[in-house]
Amino acid sequence: MKKACYIGGQWMYATEYAPLYAPYSGNEIAQISLADERLVEQAITAAQKATPLMRRMPAYQRASLLERISILMGERMEEAARMIALEAGKPIKTARGEVIRTIQTYKFAAEEAKRLHGETIPMDAAVGGEGRVAYTVREPLGVIGAITPFNFPMNLVAHKVGPALAAGNTVVLKPASQTPLSALFLAEIAEQAGVPAGALNIVTGSGSSVGDLLVKDPRIKAITFTGSPSVGMDIRNRAGLKRVTLELGSNSAVIVDRDVHLEEVIPRCIFGAFAYSGQVCISVQKIYVVKELYEPFVSRFVTETRRLRGGDSLSEDADYSAMIHPNETQRVLSWVEKAALQGARIECGGTCEGRMLQPTVMTGVPEDAKISCQEVFGPVVLINPVDSVQHAIELVNDSRYGLQAGVYTNHLGTAMLAADELHVGGVMINDIPTFRVDHMPYGGVKESGMGREGVKYAMEELTECKLVVMKK
């Protein structure tokens, strides 16, 4: 089945196509259009043409469109979840959760469209400012280039498209090559909801072709990107004066203090480590446990991990399934093997069953091992002992990344210490770093990116502040 690009309110086919394969079965599920320079040019032109309409559209109308998208998506929730499970290999139970969050994200965007405002400035606070009234307004930037990853193919699209439209921008979206169906599904929904032609355009193809054209074109006023640090830094270096929001890599950690209750902590950490086979930007990759609790923590963690069930992503019984591509599975396995050669111990997992990499728990991993200091983006978690929470904080901060971190403790002073000293974008006290709800500010420091998502905060990134001063 051939899939077209969505440009200017029309479906347009490319001259070349690429097969799309299901991660679990390996079967071909579609033929995807590979947009060339001509189609990308048409998409940007369509978005530019729709810019005056979206800029002038009243906030209540933008809100109504986004509310309609959320309603229509809710009516097709099971269809959407099965699409995610099929193309992304995400277990159907997890896929349903993503669709629910996507619906909520568009609802948040609808609400925030009506709350986008500036402020008044007391000009007479400065000498010479007397006799003037001043206020600020938030204005849309124009055409937004959005580039999204495979791991949340509907909700991370929503986090870019929703705020952009809510603020009165237009969008050219380049979804991940492995998960274009979810984005094209949104095009159907948006068309039905009455989104004006050209306000949302979706071009499928490789990042090196489509993404490069978006970054270089001067009509694109901002790039919002989620993906690898290397690609993100390249975009930042070539974007010129474009606004850039980057959500990049991580190797998120959890710190476990000596006085916590393991019956609550361990199930949450297992979820954070192995949900969607660890292919989550804020997946739990490292766990630092104060040494008094280390042995019982590891023993119980391994026992619970072995109870997880793998299977077809469309199966209701599957807790995990195949990773996005066999090459990624082999990459993670090679990292595990290298760490083992450096002295790490594989407590469970570390092997494949069919196309599925088993949930893997490792201990004694050196801090300089590749699997520790880089983003594994797979079903692997490292558990190491520490002398204290302060010791763990130092280890967490000794990283290229800084997206989110979790700290479990029953001491307020320790919690406040961690909140103050952890150099990350978000600190989760008594929870895992994998926690995210869709209206909170979300983003990192260092090589984890720049700018913030979360609908309200993304809208600020995608608008310009204009000052108006009137002399009496």
Q: If you compute the radius of gyration of the chain from its CA atoms, what whole number of angstroms results?
A: 23
Structure tokens at 175: 């979804």
3-class DSSP state for residue 400? Answer: coil
Among the listed residues 87, 98, 112, 247, the single catalytic one is: 247
- Report the sign of the C-alpha dihedral through residues 428, 429, 434, 438, in that order: negative
Distance CA 50, CA 54 (A): 6
Task: Give long-range contacts, CB 8 A cutoff, 24+ apart: 336-342.
Answer: 336/360, 336/362, 336/371, 336/380, 338/369, 338/370, 338/371, 339/365, 339/366, 339/369, 339/370, 339/371, 339/372, 342/366, 342/369
| 66 contact partners, CB below 8 Å, separation of at least 6 | 106, 107, 109, 110, 113, 162, 165, 166
Amino acid at 364: G
Give the C-alpha separation, 97 to 99, whole Å. Answer: 5
Q: Which two tokens stand for residue 125?
A: 């606070």
In the numeric block, which tokens belong to residue 329? 């599975």
User: Is 281 one of the annotated active-site residues of the chain?
Assistant: yes
Which DSSP string do the residues of 65-133 spell out, in sequence order? HHHHHHHHHHHTHHHHHHHHHHHH---HHHHHHHHHHHHHHHHHHHHHHTS----EE-GGGSTT-TTEE
Residues 6 or more apart in contact with residue 117 via CB below 8 angstroms = 137, 138
End-to-end CA distance of the chain: give it in Å, rounded.
65
Q: Is 394 a catalytic residue?
A: no
Cα 307 to chain center, whole Å? 28
Laid out side by side, the sheet with 17-21 consists of 2-3, 28-33, 17-21
**Is the distance from CB of 171 to CB of 160 less than 8 angstroms?**
yes
Provide the 8-state DSSP code for 358: P
Coil vs helix vs strand at 215: helix
What distances in angstroms separate CA 436 from CA 189, 263, 405, 419, one per listed residue? Answer: 25, 22, 12, 17
Q: How many CB atoms lie within 10 A of CB 340?
A: 17
417/397 Cα distance (integer angstroms): 13
Q: In angstroms, rounded to a whole number, what is the distance separating the alpha carbons of residues 26 and 5? A: 24
Out of 281, 375, 447, 453, pick the active-site residue.
281
Catalytic residues, by residue number, are 247, 281
